[in-house]
């Protein structure tokens, strides 16, 4: 059963998301790099490869998949790693029934969009007001990446970019409770997005809308960031409703 559970979780969850919860990752070509959480280093040698759903540190030699990362990070066994993912709202554990990837229904779209519209708009405003100089530079980097992905049709790459932009905004708000809540809602939103992925027209345009948002955060324009995020959430809900 463990093999089936592991396959289901790995099929639904991206290693870059799980690792990114505790390691600051920056895109480097088709991979992501960061400082290894398992040994002290000043130059990033920790690499996450989304295509293979793996991570590896060229400094200390450790590596593996989603589960091995959680096991190594928390010093736990495989079953305990699954429970950790459950606590992070990525999977659900049912006694005597098994472990399943957290579900969300299409009918939840309105309620989810309503709360995201309120909280993410507020987070965008706070991000514009509170972002550090380094975080504003990262926003500029994301703008360049958005420009470079114009016309991109690789859905995985576009969704990955969307996730990094949203999570950058959450971090820039500098409110850990708001960040944790929005990360949970974003995971649920992704589940709905995946249901309609093959029917949503021009995914690159939807992701490209974030350019104005990143510019507002870079420029410290809170009202503009707030309004841009609100329009983005509303547009997402409308696009999904049209196809579902």
* DSSP secondary structure of 209-227: THHHHHHHHHHT-HHHHHH
162 band by pLDDT with thresholds 50, 70 and 90: confident
Q: Looking at the predicted structure, is the pLDDT value of residue 95 above 70?
A: no
Residues in Cβ contact with 112 at an 8 Å cutoff, skipping those fewer than 6 apart:
104, 185, 188, 189, 192
Residues 118 and 38 in one domain: no
| Whether residues 13 and 77 fall in one domain | yes
Domain membership of residue 196 as a residue range = 106-243
- Do 110 and 84 reside in the same domain of the chain? no
Same domain, 94 and 121: no
Residue 66 tokens read as 């989603």
Q: What's residue 174's pLDDT?
A: 97
For the entire predicted model, the pTM comes to 0.60
Task: Specify whether 127 is located in the same domain as 233.
Answer: yes
Q: Between 129 and 184, where is the model more confident? A: 129
The residue among 101, 121, 154 that closes a domain is 101
Q: Is 65 in the same domain as 177?
A: no
| CATH code, 93 | 3.90.580.10
Looking up residue 137, the CATH number of its domain turns out to be 1.20.120.530
Instruction: Tell whether 6 and 48 lie within a shared domain.
Output: yes
What total of structural domains would you count in the chain?
Answer: 2
163-175 per-position pLDDT tens digit: 889 999 999 999 9
């Amino acid at each position: 059963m463990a093999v089936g559970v592991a396959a289901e979780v790995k099929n639904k969850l991206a290693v870059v998301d799980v690792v990114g919860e505790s390691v600051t990752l920056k895109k480097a070509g088709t991979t992501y790099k960061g400082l290894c959480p398992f040994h002290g280093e000043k130059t990033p040698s920790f690499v996450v490869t989304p295509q293979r759903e793996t991570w590896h540190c060229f400094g200390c030699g450790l590596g593996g998949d989603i589960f091995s990362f959680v096991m190594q990070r928390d010093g736990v066994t495989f079953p305990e790693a699954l429970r950790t993912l459950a606590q992070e709202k990525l999977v659900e554990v049912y006694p005597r029934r098994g472990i399943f990837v957290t579900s969300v229904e299409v009918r939840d779209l309105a309620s989810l969009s309503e709360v995201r519209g309120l909280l993410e708009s507020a987070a965008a405003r706070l991000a514009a007001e509170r972002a550090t100089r380094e975080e504003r530079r990262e926003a500029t980097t994301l703008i360049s990446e958005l420009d470079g992905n114009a016309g991109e049709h690789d859905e995985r790459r576009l969704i990955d970019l969307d996730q990094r932009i949203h999570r950058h905004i959450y971090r820039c708000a500098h409110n850990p409770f708001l960040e944790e809540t929005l990360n949970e809602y974003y995971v649920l939103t992704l589940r709905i997005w995946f249901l309609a992925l093959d029917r949503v027209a021009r995914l690159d345009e939807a992701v490209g809308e974030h350019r104005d948002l990143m510019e507002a955060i870079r420029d410290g324009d809170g009202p503009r960031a707030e309004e841009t995020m609100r329009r983005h959430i509303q547009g997402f809900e409308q696009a999904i409703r049209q196809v579902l």
